[in-house]
Amino acid sequence: MPFNRKALVESKLLNSTNWALYQPRLISYWPFLILTSNEGLKQVHFRYLWNIRILISLTFLLLAIIYSVCYERIKAESYFQNDSLLLFDNYCIVIWDRILMTSELGIRIYGILKANKFVQFWRNIVELVGTYFELSSSHPEVESGLEKINKWAKKWTLFTSTLISFHLGCFIYPYIFQSDIRKDENWFQAMMNIYMEVAVCSVAANVMFLIYFVKIMILGFDVVSTNIQEKTKLHFIREQTKLAFCKTKTNHPKNNKKTCFLSEINQEEWVNIEWSGTLNLINRLEKSVERYNAQFGIPLLGAVITVMAQVIFALYFCYADPRMGSDFTWAVSLITPLILCPFTLVGLCFSASELSEKCDGALRQLQEIPVNSLNREDKWSVQLTVTRLSAKGMGIYVGRLFQIRAPLLTSAISTFATYFIIIIQMRIGSQSQKLNQSH
């Protein structure tokens, strides 16, 4: 693809899916800039020297390091001085905070170190979308798919931004009005606690960015499916036309033979439908999924860990903290993560599951192609593609740990319920021991 063609596709992609890039740029998980060239085309740029988002990302990273180093001063002391919480509660909270901050640090460091890799992956996505336009006989199909992605991103952004704003508003309210819940905290503790909440809530922006690329690849399999249907239909029409022509030649009164004569028509004109473009796109999609798994394995793992830890943390606090029933803003700041975190995990799992299903659907369509009617080269290429996809499948994997699909939600719920019950039982035992000591 020529450079001007690439630039045009990239600008079209950035314009048509602008909502998908809004939150990630705001939170700076991935430090990149979108600049407009002299020709009016938008492009993704990355430079260590002048990219202001590098500075923003480094600022977030510095705050995360300060929070981890000064954790004892910021939160641990206030937890252990709270008489309304058991000692067991304090240890659980400290552990969960450490998990959340370790995940945040990992994502930030990875985003800065792998920023060049992200630009390379973005270039691959641009080339992939360019292939969609080249292969699709109906460009509005691709444009409509990008528009659907943008509508999804807009709804996601508005919903999560509203929920996060409401959550942070309720979290900051006690600081502004000097509520009893936060009256003993100084300005440094207040600033770092607010940063912690922003960092945890912003995982939704990171997850949306990951889902965005999955949906782009899903659109590619839609293009493949449509293309295979069109070629199969064309093949069927040509076969029917050939049979009708043979029947006409055989039944001609001057033709006494019962056979079909097609000497004036090259046989390959009937059967040699061009499959190289479709198979090339499937190969590109396969490589894109592999690059995605290699590039975003750590962010995916960090997102899953953060979501699970935050849900357990919020639900446990709702159960154990007596302030839950006495302070409305405190209750809301605990309940909102129970909505936001499962929402992000469900969106990620269902999008990854849809990608696997689209791949399986394309594979079934390839298996139904009458390969005996193809020429030798196309027949070999189709069979090789079917064998390769059948052998390893295609999906979103977190390293070699697990595959992200809809059934992961069932496993997550069962694991969460098991450990939550164990923690509650241990808390009840700790509470009973405290009562025995008081008597």
Structural domain spans, the chain: 3-438
Per-residue pLDDT of 195-209, as tens digits, reads 778 877 788 888 888
Question: From the CB of residue 225, how many other CB atoms can be counted at a distance below 10 Å?
Answer: 16
Chain centroid, CA 259 distance in Å: 58
Between 187-201 and 139-176, two packed helices, what is the crossing angle to 10 degrees? 160
pTM score of the predicted model? 0.85
Nearest to 75, CA basis, from 178, 191, 177: 191
**Nearest alpha carbon to residue 46 among 36, 54, 58:** 54
In terms of Cα–Cα distance, which of 356, 353, 378, 348 is closest to 366?
Answer: 378
40: left (phi over 0), alpha (psi -120 to 50) or beta: left
The structure tokens listed for 391 are 């052998």
Q: Which of 103, 123, 119, 357 is nearest to 206 (CA)?
A: 103
Amino acid sitting at position 60 = F
Question: Which pLDDT score, from 0 to 100, does residue 48 have?
Answer: 53
pLDDT of residue 272: 46
pLDDT one-digit tens code per residue, 395-431: 899 877 888 988 888 888 887 788 778 877 777 776 6
Those residues of the chain that have pLDDT short of 50 are 1-2, 256-272
